[in-house]
Amino acid sequence: MKLLEPGSVVDGFMVGECIHAGGMAHIYRVSYAQGQADPGFAMAMKVPRMTTGDGAENIVSFEIECQIMQVLQGSHVPRFVAAGDLARLPYLVMEYVSGRTLEQQMALDPTPDVEHIASLGTAMARAVHALHQQNTVHLDLKPANVLLRDDGSAVLLDFGLSCHAHYPDLLAEQLRKAVGSPAWIAPEQVVGVRGDPRSDIFAIGVMLYQLCTGELPFGTPQTAGGLRQRLWVDPVPPRKLTALLPEWLQEVVMRCLEPEAARRYPSAAHLAFDLSHPTQVTITARGRNIHGTGFGTHLKRWLKAAGMQYKASPLPAQQVEEVPIVMVAVPHQDASDVTLYSLRMAVARSLGTRPGARLACLTVISPSLTSNTDDDKSETKVHRQYLNRLRQWAQPLDHPGHQTSYHVLESGDVAQALLDYAKGNTVSVIVMGAATHGLKTQRFVATVPIKVAMDAPCTVILVKQTLPFELLV
């Protein structure tokens, strides 16, 4: 297919300059021809390469991207505008998002600091989580397919290899082989399993490894045998290549790169949480290791991988819902034992038996509590005091399958502080006490629980005080 000429009109779109010429498609700036209203944003047209020398995956990928782009929503994907007919002229018109790709960012800043690495990883994880909530797995995440806006958020590009749980997987049906970019493809993709959202978490881990070390964890294998090695081999620990890298960041990266999907983060929201709260990361041997994984461990994994039966994944949205981030707001004053007990029981019910669910315990204190210059009331000591209270309150909830973190926030607006935390950390459920006093007043003045319940981005459970009968005697 020959290149489109600038100035030509295709189905009402005026073609501009070619801004990208890749192995699978050409991308042009476009605008509406005369007589059509301005959409309010810049547009780009993607035209797939379909010459005699191109493979069938170009056609299949185009069909997949057209199918998926029309149903995706949100700020982490370009807006869909129109699609051309495959038999006449295949094209895809979408929003043109300004910014630079992660690949370009890496070229400009090959050695970012830890804080910048964490912010980039958080942006990618939040974008991927939004995708998974729409039952879509990207399956081709790499630096060239992650666009970074000026505000620090990420936009995901190129859905030609993606999988949507509600549509036929054309790549799996027609090509029946591992499809993806060799450096970033997940182990389960190598053996033909598509649709697991944790495959995208693996790809984010590869990019984080690149940011930390400047190297690819598994190189760029060109053979099936080279690809299969990631089913049992760990990469060189990042701290062996970058000595000043903190243990918590290596812990995060190596957890993303676990060969077995079940040992990675259960959802991208959990990954974003750890990257946003490094002091809450539980450091294991993964984070402390600087020598690499021994031959014996790799041999056991090789034997296990040889006989492993890989199963199809559940719906991505269902899978992430089964590992929620539960936030509980624990009052720091005027809270009776009955209130604290009722909150604890409600949290226990919310966590249930779902392994991998995360609990974030919060308390919001007034800035005046830490403004005193007296050393006995210093900010560090006051925070430590309330953190210890939170740990004592949550101790009965300790469970091997759940990870718990503790946070003391300072704000004069308790409701807004809780809402900001919930939105910023993709919280699934908020548990907090219901204000049962002053019910007549609440008809005119909204209390903190009412404000949170009205504006929260997730489910809110308001807990009334209850106590077992045997504890009343």
Arithmetic mean of pLDDT, 222-249: 92
Rg of the chain over Cα atoms, rounded to whole angstroms, equals 25
Alpha helices by DSSP H, listed for 109-197, are: 114-132, 170-174, 187-190
221, 192 contact by CB (below 8 A): no
pLDDT on residue 335: 75
128, 184 contact by CB (below 8 A): no
pLDDT on residue 52: 61
pLDDT on residue 55: 58
> Residue 258 to residues 169, 201, 319, 423: CA-CA distances in angstroms?
25, 10, 18, 28
Strand partners, 154: 148
pLDDT on residue 471: 52
Instruction: Give the model confidence (pLDDT) of 428-447 as tens digits.
Output: 999 998 865 444 444 445 68
Categorize the per-residue pLDDT at 332 as very low, low, confident or very high, splitting at 50, 70 and 90: confident
Categorize the per-residue pLDDT at 184 as very low, low, confident or very high, splitting at 50, 70 and 90: very high
Does the pLDDT at position 239 exceed 90? yes
Does the pLDDT at position 23 exceed 80? no
Arithmetic mean of pLDDT, 134-162: 95
Most confidently modeled range among 23-32, 75-84, 363-372, 429-438: 75-84
pLDDT on residue 444: 47
Q: What is the largest CA-CA distance in the chain?
A: 86
Does the pLDDT at position 473 exceed 50? no
pLDDT on residue 353: 65
Categorize the per-residue pLDDT at 351 as very low, low, confident or very high, splitting at 50, 70 and 90: confident
Distance CA(58)–CA(56), nearest Å, equals: 5
Query: pLDDT averaged over the chain?
Result: 87
Q: Which domains, ranges and CATH numbers included, belong to the chain?
A: 9-95 (3.30.200.20), 100-319 (1.10.510.10), 324-471 (3.40.50.620)
Distance CA(289)–CA(250), nearest Å, equals: 9
Categorize the per-residue pLDDT at 280 as very low, low, confident or very high, splitting at 50, 70 and 90: very high
pLDDT on residue 140: 94
pLDDT on residue 292: 84
Most confidently modeled range among 60-64, 258-262, 301-305: 258-262
148, 101 contact by CB (below 8 A): yes
> Residue 404 to residues 43, 275, 409, 421, 457: CA-CA distances in angstroms?
44, 15, 16, 16, 21
Considering only CA atoms, which of 379, 405, 120 is closest in space to residue 277?
A: 405
Instruction: Give the model confidence (pLDDT) of 293-325 as tens digits.
Output: 888 888 888 888 776 666 666 688 888 888 899
pLDDT on residue 442: 46
Arithmetic mean of pLDDT, 189-208: 93
Which residue type sits at 350? S
For residues 38 and 448, the model is more confident at: 448
Buried/exposed code over 84-119 (b: 16+ C-beta within 10 A; e: otherwise):
beeeeebbbbbbbbeeebbeebbeeeeebebeebbb
Most confidently modeled range among 15-24, 162-171, 178-187, 238-247: 238-247
Tokens (6 digits) for 446: 């909204």
Which residue type sits at 124? M
Instruction: Give the model confidence (pLDDT) of 81-120 as tens digits.
Output: 999 987 788 899 999 999 999 999 999 999 999 999 999 9
Most confidently modeled range among 165-169, 171-175, 269-273, 436-440: 269-273
Per DSSP, which regions of 291-378 are E strands? Answer: 325-329, 358-365
Does the pLDDT at position 401 exceed 90? no
